[in-house]
């Protein structure tokens, strides 16, 4: 596109130079060439705008899809954490005094991780000024840590 604009600008300049020292028929041909070049520029600009708008729309759709997938992943992890918290409550009820402290500590850790994930879930829905890729990366890191912790506990 840049080459087209440069070529058209050269044509316009040459046409203007020819227009000032030519006969009326040559001036008419030059005027028509200039108008044609001007029309070409307008079409090129319109096409570039359309391409940019399409790229923006595609990007938004991709981000919306990624957000939906991330929400689903967080919800799945939160549900697993709820299940683990119930299991820990059962362990705490039947545990000896020496083990209760261990399970209660683990319950507090899981609850904190769950709260962090729920906060992240809320951020996905908000129109944040934070860069989407940064937010997505942070949440994925949190999810990986939670999944690892859940596997280690079970």
Task: Give the chain's residues under pLDDT 50.
Answer: 129
Q: Length of the chain, please? A: 154
Phi, psi of 95 (to 5 degrees): -80, 155
DSSP state of 95: S
By the 10 Å C-beta count (0-12 exposed, 13-18 middle, 19+ buried), 77 is classed as buried
If one counts every other C-beta atom within 10 angstroms of the C-beta of residue 110, the result is 20
Contacts (Cβ under 8 Å, ≥6 apart) of 111? 85
What does the pLDDT read at residue 122? 81
C-alpha distance across the termini of the chain, in Å: 60
pTM score of the predicted model = 0.55
Nearest to 116 by CA among 71, 148, 84, 74: 74
What does the pLDDT read at residue 2? 55
Distance in angstroms (rounded) separating the CA atoms of residues 88 and 105: 10
What does the pLDDT read at residue 9? 63
67-104 pLDDT per residue, tens: 888 888 888 988 988 998 998 898 889 888 888 888 89
């Amino acid at each position: 596109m840049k080459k087209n604009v440069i070529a058209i600008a050269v044509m316009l300049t040459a046409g203007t130079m020819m227009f000032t020292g030519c006969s009326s028929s040559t001036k008419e041909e030059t005027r028509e060439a200039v108008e044609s070049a001007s029309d070409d520029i307008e079409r090129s600009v319109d096409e570039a705008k359309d391409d940019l708008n399409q790229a923006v729309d595609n990007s938004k759709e991709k981000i919306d899809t990624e957000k939906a997938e991330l929400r689903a992943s967080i919800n799945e992890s939160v549900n697993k954490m709820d299940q683990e918290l119930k299991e820990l409550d059962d362990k705490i009820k039947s545990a000896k005094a020496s083990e209760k402290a261990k399970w209660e500590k683990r319950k507090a850790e899981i609850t904190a991780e769950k709260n962090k994930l729920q906060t992240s879930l809320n951020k996905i829905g908000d129109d944040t000024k934070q860069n989407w890729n940064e937010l997505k990366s942070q949440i994925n890191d949190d999810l990986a840590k939670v999944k690892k912790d859940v596997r280690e506990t079970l």
